[in-house]
Structure 1
């Protein structure tokens, strides 16, 4: 083989190898397909509230208000500190399996740490959820659980409160992974894409003046999928109101 042909061949081979390396090691963005259920894990469950779910809709560590908690229904759970993850786990959905059956619950609060002598993560279930998996007299029971896709009706909801110098946004009714790990906002004029900061639970804040503009939000869930709610808040939006997008995950 001629020297220049050998050199060209080696260059192409190295270029091909480099391309493969970059493709393999680069961090992927998962913006397609649907959320897939995770593996089964060991855990344990307790219960709180009444048989009708009363006593479980007064808000909690996720920051949801009464109506927001009620929108998740009575099948909810407070999850232990690891799954709560400083608020990043709020809104996630889990399939919980006990000796009697299974229940799919949404994480809306934080539970105490795992109970001594019990395996895995702690789920403090509402009574309606607990009764689907075991008997009330059991009190505390071993379970298996896995993270599953959240199935929601309608689009993502955004509740905005505060004032022009301090905007607070609560994101609810999130499908797919259900949790929210990052949130950005953009106006239709002066406000460029701006990352919002987690205040606590699922409350996000920015000191940008957002008034007088149509607002677009971009949500990223724990599985790195993103959804953009274009102009979900009209230019005449008002503090204290909830606005619903047309799309979800």
Structure 2
């Protein structure tokens, strides 16, 4: 069997090259800054609607992301590895950050980090010099969230009013998946009813006049393995309480 002509071989390699070079897990160059809260953590008023949990989740490694990463709230709860790119000042490990807020500072700044998170990018005893920069060059990549001590949980948001209006937000969203839709099972056990996203709180889902029974939800999840529905059977009790958090017993790996 003869060898292929060189011109055919070159064309084949040129067509294959993008597939060889591209990876979903590649780093993206950008910039990061920080917001100056007194305790160094995030803000409880983040656009995602996580409240106080948004300040302390991931050991306080939380931050606001640009509109392109926020994605109208779908990007809430996504985790990123963020590495500062100033030689001798920043460590090579970077930090793992969870998106809990939205904030666009322009000039290709994709992250506004808590002071705690921003300082964690620096080498020992270099944090003060890093803060002096204000805005630093970074490389970031989306990574899987890991909550070893938590399953996916459903928090009944404080905007809820029992029994006429239910608003929920999902906490401890493991893996690298997005929640694109949420439905609640009607009391007849056959029909699903859509929950809508609340304006100004990108990760909060709400429904008026929910069924007067223990509530079964299902969520539409998308990720590297495609899109699927995940059932959360009777996860919210009949007499749910505003501000309460209920475990689902599953992980979105």
Q: What TM-score comes out, normalization by structure 2 length?
A: 0.73
- 2-side partners of 1:247 and 1:91: how far apart? 16
How much has 1:241 moved relative to structure 2?
1.8
Unaligned 5+ segments in structure 2 are 1-22, 123-129
How much has 1:209 moved relative to structure 2?
2.5
Q: Does 1:136 align with 2:123?
A: no
Q: Which residue of 2 aligns with 1:33?
A: none
Q: Deviations over 1:145-198 (max 9, x none)?
A: 011111123221112223333221111111112542211222564573222111
Contact 1:92–1:147 (CA under 8 A) maintained in structure 2: yes
- 2-side partners of 1:95 and 1:196: how far apart? 31
- 1-side partners of 2:79 and 2:182: how far apart? 19
- 2-side partners of 1:83 and 1:105: how far apart? 13
Unaligned 5+ segments in structure 1 are 1-35
Contact 2:162–2:241 (CA under 8 A) maintained in structure 1: no
* 2:77 corresponds to which of 82, 91, 99: 91
Query: Counterpart of 1:43 in 2: which secondary structure?
Result: strand
User: Which is greater in Rg?
Assistant: 1
Q: Does 1:159 align with 2:152?
A: no
- 1-side partners of 2:113 and 2:34: how far apart? 5
88-97 or 66-75: bigger deviation: 66-75
Alpha-carbon RMSD: 2.4
- 2-side partners of 1:165 and 1:50: how far apart? 36
Contact 1:68–1:172 (CA under 8 A) maintained in structure 2: no
Q: Does 1:105 align with 2:97?
A: yes
Contact 1:59–1:69 (CA under 8 A) maintained in structure 2: no
Q: Does 1:198 align with 2:197?
A: yes
Contact 1:93–1:106 (CA under 8 A) maintained in structure 2: yes
Q: Which residue of 1 aligns with 2:242?
A: 239
Query: Counterpart of 2:111 in 1: which secondary structure?
Result: strand
